[in-house]
Structure 1
Amino acid sequence: MRLHHIYGPAFLLIAMPAWAEPCVSATFDRSFPHATGVESFIADVPSAQFPAFWQTGLIDGYQYRLFSNGEGEIKASDPNQDWVVEIACETAGQSCDITVDGDAPTEALQIADTITQCLLSSEITLARTTPENPIVDTTVTSQENVVAPQNSETEIACGVATVNEANDVATMQRLLILLGEDPGPVDGVLGPASFKAMGAFVDDSNWNTSIKNVISALDALHCERSQ
Structure 2
Amino acid sequence: MRVVILGGVALTLCIGVSAGQAAPCVGSDFTTPFPGASNVTTHVVDVPSPRFPGFWQEGTKDGYFYMLFANGDAVLTAGRDSTWHISYSCDAGLGECSAHIEGTPPGEAMQVAEQLKQCLLEGEVSQAVQEPETRLVEEEPPNVPSEEPVSPAPPEDPATCSVETIDDENLTRKLQGMLVLAGADPGPLDGIPGAMTTNALISVLGETAAQLPTEDAIAALRELMCSDSDR
TM-score range, shorter chain: 0.3 to 0.5
TM-score of the superposed pair, with normalisation by structure 1 = 0.47
TM-score of the superposed pair, with normalisation by structure 2 = 0.47
